[in-house]
């Protein structure tokens, strides 16, 4: 009898351990993957918030770290405090890689934020007076983009044969209105300068304009077209672009639900893209 009781106890114990193992395995299967993404407040963090519940259903717990500058998100990505960041366009990323040696790659392009020119004093670019003062970002990565916008609107001409993404003030060869470009402003401060009536015109990134309640399409006196090459991307450390969680993040941000949200929310001031 004692032998049978011992055998029965052993069988129950083995079954219990097996069941526990299956339970742990099942629990492990349901375990979420944590993904920490750094982002500018608007529109990047807003878009990520919209994607959060969709990612949750796919087993990804998205945590959003908000930044108000253009330097710290890449530093945080390098130090592995972030798994990815979402705030910069490709020319800026390339410049940061060249300057700081970051081993980052583009995991996917998500949207375009057209650069706009704003003025409290003039309703159109052709009304700008001779010697008008233009306030612009101190981010050199944006200078080629800004100057190209002025060139497309016929106010200046840049040197032939240059890479216009990398153009600087020195590359202006014709400036019939003698525009004075003041590029000493932090990008985040340009909306304040505009609201204070500083300068004759102010060039502002759409994310900062939107962040203070401006509508780039309606409030600007000139704006980039939807074909702008300055696509805002998901940036990651090299090799991480192949991780399942990163691929899922990009897929969700490319989904019709998110793209429709972007169009509805910003009415063309932010334009979704499909691909890099």
Q: Which domains does the chain have, with CATH numbers?
A: 33-113+230-272 (3.40.190.10), 116-223 (3.40.190.10)
pTM of the model: 0.77
Q: What pLDDT is recorded for position 147?
A: 97
Q: What are the residues whose beta carbons fall under 8 Å from the beta carbon of 254, sequence distance 6 or more?
A: 108, 110, 274, 275
Q: Cα(90)–Cα(96) distance, rounded to whole angstroms?
A: 10
Q: Which residue has the higher pLDDT, 121 or 21?
A: 121
Q: Which tens digits make up the pLDDT trace of 60-108?
A: 999 999 999 999 999 999 999 999 999 999 989 999 999 999 999 999 9
DSSP 45: I
């Amino acid at each position: 009898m004692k032998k049978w009781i011992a055998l029965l106890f052993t069988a129950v114990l083995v079954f219990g351990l097996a069941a526990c193992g299956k339970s742990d395995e099942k629990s492990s299967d349901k375990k979420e993957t944590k993904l920490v993404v750094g982002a500018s407040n608007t529109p990047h963090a807003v878009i990520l918030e919209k994607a959060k519940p969709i990612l949750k259903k796919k087993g990804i717990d998205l945590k959003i770290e908000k930044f108000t500058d253009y330097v710290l998100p890449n530093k945080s990505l390098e130090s592995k405090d972030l798994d990815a960041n979402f705030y910069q366009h490709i020319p800026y990323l390339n410049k940061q890689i060249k300057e700081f040696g970051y081993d980052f790659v583009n995991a996917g392009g998500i949207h375009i934020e057209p650069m706009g020119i704003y003025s409290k004093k003039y309703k159109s670019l052709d009304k700008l007076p001779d010697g008008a003062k233009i306030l612009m970002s101190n981010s050199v990565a944006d200078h080629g983009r800004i100057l190209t916008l002025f060139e497309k609107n016929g106010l200046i001409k840049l040197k032939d044969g240059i890479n216009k993404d990398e153009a600087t003030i020195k590359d202006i060869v014709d400036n019939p209105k003698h525009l004075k470009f003041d590029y000493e402003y932090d990008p985040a401060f340009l909306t304040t300068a505009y609201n204070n009536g500083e300068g004759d015109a102010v060039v502002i990134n759409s994310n900062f304009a939107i962040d203070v309640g401006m509508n780039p399409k309606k409030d600007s006196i000139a704006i980039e077209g939807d074909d702008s090459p300055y696509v805002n991307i998901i940036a990651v450390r090299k090799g991480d672009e192949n991780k399942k969680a990163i691929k899922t993040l990009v897929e969700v941000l490319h989904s019709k639900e998110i793209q429709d949200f972007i169009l509805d929310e910003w009415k063309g001031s932010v334009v979704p893209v499909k691909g890099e």
